[in-house]
Amino acid sequence: LITSAALAVATLSRSELLPEPPRPLEPPRFAGGLYAACLPGALCLLVAVGVYVASPASSAAAARLWLLGLALLLLPGLWDWARRFRRRTPSTERNGRRYAAAAVTLFVLAFAIRIWGGIDRMPGWLDSDEAATGVDGRTVFAQGARALFGFWDVGNPHVTLFVSQLAALPFGEGLGALRLGSALLGSLTVVLLFDFGRRLVGGPTAFLAALLLAVNHVFVHYSRVGQIYVDTPFFTSLVLALLLRVLTGGSFLSLTAAGIALGIGAATYVPTEILPALVLLTLLGWTTAFTWEPRRVLVLGAFLAAVVALILAPIVVTVLRITPEIAYQRIPNLSLLRPEGLRLLADTYRADSGIETM
């Protein structure tokens, strides 16, 4: 596989089928007016938090205001993207077509691998986890906006169920649709790896890395079961791809979308909660490595932090309202930093445990 992939990349690199090499990373210089244009969206998100605090635990009005705030945040970026799109050069158009061809090829390959052999005929997950994800997800999704800020099993917010249900929506209902939704997010993750990889290490290496991820056994498994685990690699790759677009001359839309993806992603599967901190640490590391101007990095980091804080504020309000054990159930149980967490893992996965026996 590695030899074949390397030969394919070597062949493609001698042609003009792959995008051009990446440009140097540099913090953006967006006009102050673009940041100011985000104030209506930020105000709407603040009002949503106020409405949620003053209302019962399930508030459809607060959730709708929250969604409206996200849409308003994207509007300045959409205007900036449209302005840049009209000014694109023939060289940019050619490079875009090459990128699109490579991305489509990777997506088709990754998705075909995940559905090969009949994704709906795979044995069900142990302990009925897939069934719980599907049934509870449909219940929460049917409740609509008023259920958006709630919490599900073992400390996972309802947002993660909304993500899995939206991904499964094009495929209908049932376990097969739920698994196809995971396959969709997993295949998009392969494309996103290529997108951010080509900006870091160039097209050929990124294409090879994406090919290897497309067939990686562990990732194939977790991106074809009806579970929420694929949320973590998907949102991580999405945030990194958007952030690197910002740092390589991308539009303001990439920045606002990165902030929104970062906030929503942090409210999905529990391990993704540390993603905002990792992004800020990454920016700090790049600032040191590339000797960037600190003021420009500070503006970038402050904007992302503000967007993430506004998006996660209703989730934080929910945490303060409910029993802490519901919101933090999985974290102390599985933390290797706590003796009881280490003991629980040892008891669960030892040779004579129930899981090993099954």
| pLDDT, averaged in runs of 10, over the chain (358 residues) | 66 60 80 95 95 83 94 95 87 84 94 86 72 87 89 82 93 89 96 92 88 92 89 95 92 95 92 88 83 89 95 90 69 64 69 49
The answer to whether the predicted template modeling score (pTM) of the entire model surpasses 0.75 is yes
Residue 125 CB partners (closer than 8 Å, separation 6+): 131, 225, 226, 227
| Cα–Cα dist 156/175, whole Å | 20
Given its phi and psi angles, is residue 93 left (phi above 0), alpha (psi -120 to 50 degrees) or beta? alpha
DSSP state of 151: B
Of all residues in the chain, what percent are helix, strand and coil, respectively (each to 5)? 80, 0, 20
Contact 201, 252 (CB under 8 A): no
| Cα–Cα dist 252/102, whole Å | 25
| Res 356: pLDDT | 44
| Res 69: pLDDT | 96
Contact 168, 181 (CB under 8 A): yes
| Cα–Cα dist 148/167, whole Å | 16
Concatenate the DSSP letters of all residues of 301-312 into one string: HHHHHHHHHHHH
| Res 350: pLDDT | 65
